[in-house]
Amino acid sequence: MGKLKAGFSKVDITPPVGVYLSGYILRGEPSQGVHDNLHARALVLDDGKTRVTVVSADLTGLFMESIDRIRSKASELTGIGRENILIACTHTHSGPATFFMRGVEEVDGEYLALLERKIVDSIVQANNGLRESSLAVGSGLVRGVGYNRERRSREPVDEELGVIRVNSLKGDGGCLILNYACHPVVLGPSNLFISADYPGAVERFVERSLGLYCLFTCGACGDIDPITNLEVWGKGTFGDVERLGRLIGAEAVKVAEGLDGTTNVKMGTKTASIELPVREPPSVDEAKKELSAWRERLEELRRSGASTGELRIAKAMIGWAEDVLRSLTNRSFPKSKRIEVMLIGLNDTLLVAIPGEPFVEVGLKIKEASPFRYTYVIGYGNGEVGYFPTAEAFNRGGYEVEMAPRYLDITFLKPESEAILESSVIDLAERLHRELESP
């Protein structure tokens, strides 16, 4: 256990007006303005033996190609091991298109290159500003923010607010890492203004109140939507964004103000590649029939004067069917889905980064089985590969199981993928906990 040093930074990553926004296939127009700026915030921690980085970026998500480039460049410039760099996105659906989704607008390559460099810069700045600091961890409870959209019910949800506070001993900087499980989709597809959605409102509230940087991370929120969507989906306003931001931000400030920090910190990380099983591919004839059906569907929609959104969905499904058929023809259809999970241990606290959207029950099971006192699951951590439903949800079907995978990939996970993901994470957590507990 060593004396903690920490560095902090915040850089503006707001794209130019006119870029297309990500997250909704029903939104077909470019952005028209900026409601609130987007940022990447970085924290670097060093206990004398291990140095880690946590970044929170106000983006819908990033593909592994971007994550790899950022980690490699940041590691080159700072000496921090790339396996010790965690880059999480807040998953705002009013941020720029930064990764591929069928039927959703093309990524602006020029902006993406600049964005990656800015995130690297945030890590470098934080690393260059290391100073003696303290660490404190706690949790709060924020009710009435989200509901379970997959079950159309107010349960199950995870209303725990994770709070990690890092303060410079000289009082010249610090930050909070927050973790809360709710989809940042207060603003629906009709919104054409760049915004960090409710996580941005939380970040602004905390930073105004405490004078510290605020790194917001989404928990296991794959099936959790803001309560504003319960009756009429997608009609939330910027007023709703601010209201939810105040609810979560106020609890974060309350918890943070009651924490006593320690300078004695022992850190460790674990990273693992996990193979998740996918469904068997269709036959070539089945794939051809699927493609033909979607092409006929598109023509039917055109004849009937269907909406732009319906046409875009059909076009996306044609693209998916074409890619499936191509992979079958050249015998490249994936036999599994490989993902990387990353764990960071900070004394009695565990951060678990999963590169996509785990359902809330997945997060709750990991929390319950974790040997750490505090465990916070971070969705959209080091990538965005789609949803991680429960086995029960696979059996029920629905958007997250049957439709969403077609926008990002050509494969569908099997129900047993839930147990494999959870057991793999818990095994890593137990190994990391033993290492941190050893003298």
- Could you read off the pLDDT tens digit of each residue along the chain, which spans 439 residues? 679 999 999 999 999 999 999 999 988 889 999 999 999 999 999 999 999 999 999 999 999 999 999 999 999 999 999 999 999 999 999 999 999 899 887 899 999 999 999 999 999 999 999 999 999 999 999 999 999 999 989 899 999 999 999 999 998 899 999 999 999 999 999 999 999 999 999 999 999 999 999 999 999 999 999 999 998 888 999 999 999 999 999 999 999 999 999 999 999 999 999 999 999 999 999 999 999 999 999 999 999 999 988 999 999 999 999 999 999 999 999 999 999 999 999 999 999 999 999 999 999 999 999 999 999 999 999 999 999 999 999 989 999 999 999 999 999 999 999 999 999 999 999 999 999 998 7
Q: Output the pLDDT for position 437.
A: 92
Same domain, yes or no, for 239 and 302? no
Cα(133)–Cα(131) distance, rounded to whole angstroms?
A: 6
3-state secondary structure 201-218: HHHHHHHHHHCCEEEEEE
Same domain, yes or no, for 323 and 344? no
Same domain, yes or no, for 329 and 346? no
Those residues whose C-beta lies under 8 Å from the C-beta of residue 211, and which sit 6 or more positions away, are none
- Residue 399: CB atoms within 10 Å: 11
Total domains, the chain:
2
Same domain, yes or no, for 218 and 358? yes
How far apart, in Å, do the first and last CA atoms of the chain sit?
9
Residue 174 lies in a domain: yes
Residue 274 lies in a domain: no
**Both structure tokens of 269:** 């990380």
Same domain, yes or no, for 171 and 300? no
Q: Is the full-model pTM beyond 0.75?
A: yes
Cα(33)–Cα(392) distance, rounded to whole angstroms?
A: 41
Strands 131-141 and 5-12: antiparallel
Buried b (16+ CB within 10 A) or exposed e, 17-42: eebbbbbbbbbbeebeeebbebbbbb
Same domain, yes or no, for 215 and 314? no
Q: Output the pLDDT for position 28.
A: 82
Query: The tokens 């660490």 sit on which residue?
Result: 135
Same domain, yes or no, for 63 and 203? yes
Provide the domain limits for residue 313. 279-333
Domain boundary residue among 312, 333, 354?
A: 333
Same domain, yes or no, for 34 and 158? yes
